[in-house]
Chain A
Amino acid sequence: MKSHTIRVLFSGVPLVFALAGGAMAGQASKVKAPPLPPGSNLVQVDAGVTPEEVSRQKRAHKHSKLEKKDYTRDDSLDAPPAPKNPKPKKTK
Chain B
Amino acid sequence: MKTVFRFMSAALLAGGALLAQPALAQTGPKTLIVYDGPPNSEYTKLGLAYSIMLKNLLGHFDSNAELLPVQNYVAGKMNGYDATFYLGSYYDNPLPAAFLSDASTTAKTVVWFKYNLWQLAWNPAYGFPAKFGFDYASLRGLNAAPTAANPTPGFFDTIGYKGKSFVKYYAFDGATGVVNADPDIGTTAVLDPVKAKVLVPVTNPKTGEIAPYVTRSGNFWYVADLPLSYIGPRDRYLVLADLLHDMLGVTTPEKHQALVRLEDVGAMVSVSAMKSLTDYLYGKHIPFSIATIPHYMDPLGIYNGNVPQSIPMSQATNLKKALNYALPRGAEVVMHGYTHQYSNVRDPWTGVSGDDYEFWNIVTNSPVTEDSTAWAQDRITKGKTELTSNGYTPVAWETPHYQSSGLASKVFALPANFSTTYQRVVYFTADKPNFNPVPNKDFGVGQIFPYVIKKDYYGQRIIPENLGNIEYDISAIDPTSNYNYTWQDIVTNADYAKVVRDGYASFFFHPFWLEPAVGTPGLADFKKLIDGITALGYTWIAPSQAQ
Contacts and interface: CB of A to CB of B under 8 A. Distances in A.
A is bound by B:
yes
Interface of A: 3, 6, 8-13, 15-20, 23-31, 33-40, 42-54, 56-69, 71-76, 78
The 8 closest A-B pairs by CB, nearest first: A37-B141, A48-B445, A39-B145, A60-B355, A49-B446, A76-B272, A34-B139, A39-B142
Nearest to A42: B179
B198 A37 contact: no
Contacts of A52: 232
B135 interface: yes
B210 A13 contact: yes
A39 B146 contact: yes
19 contacts: A11-B198, A15-B209, A17-B138, A18-B187, A19-B189, A24-B122, A33-B91, A33-B119, A38-B142, A39-B145, A47-B46, A49-B231, A60-B354, A60-B478, A61-B354, A63-B512, A64-B517, A68-B304, A78-B272
A76 B139 contact: no
Nearest to B210: A15
B181 A43 contact: yes
Interface of B: 1, 3-4, 7-8, 46, 49-50, 53, 91-92, 94, 97, 118-119, 121-125, 129, 135-146, 153, 155, 169, 171, 177-184, 187-191, 193, 198, 201, 209-212, 228-232, 235, 264, 267-268, 270-272, 275, 296, 302-305, 311, 316-319, 321, 348-350, 352, 354-356, 362, 401-403, 424, 426-427, 443-448, 468-469, 471, 474, 477-478, 480-481, 485, 510, 512, 515, 517-518
A8 B190 contact: yes
A33 to B, nearest CB: 4
Nearest to A24: B124
Contacts of B135: 19, 23
A63 B354 contact: no
B142 A40 contact: yes
Contacts of B155: 37
B124 A65 contact: no
Given A34-B118, A37-B140, A63 B517 contact: yes
Query: Interface centre among A13, A19, A47, A54, by most B CB within 10 Å?
Result: A47
Given A8-B190, A10-B190, A50 B512 contact: no
A48 to B, nearest CB: 3
Contacts of A60: 349-350, 354-356, 478, 480
Nearest to A54: B446
B123 A28 contact: yes
Contacts of B350: 60, 62
B49 A48 contact: yes
Contact of B144 (A10, A11, A39, A64): A39
A31 B123 contact: yes
Contacts of B427: 48
Contacts of A11: 3-4, 7-8, 198
Contact of A39 (B3, B153, B448, B471): B153
B355 A20 contact: no
Query: Interface centre among A13, A30, A52, A66, by most B CB within 10 Å?
Result: A66
Contact of A43 (B141, B190, B209, B478): B141
B5 to A, nearest CB: 9
Nearest to B296: A71
Nearest to A25: B124
Contacts of B321: 74, 76
Contacts of B97: 29
A71 B140 CA distance: 59
Given A31-B123, A56-B468, A61 B481 contact: yes
B182 to A, nearest CB: 5
B447 A48 contact: yes
B312 to A, nearest CB: 11
Given A17-B211, A40-B142, A68-B305, 5 more contacts: A10-B210, A26-B122, A26-B123, A42-B177, A65-B515
Contacts of A19: 135, 137-138, 189
A74 B140 CA distance: 62
A24 B356 contact: no
Nearest to B1: A13
A41 to B, nearest CB: 8
Given A12-B3, A28-B124, A50 B230 contact: yes
Contacts of A12: 3-4
Contact of A42 (B50, B178, B448): B178
A4 B377 CA distance: 63
A27 B138 CA distance: 17
B10 to A, nearest CB: 11
Contact of A68 (B49, B153, B303): B303
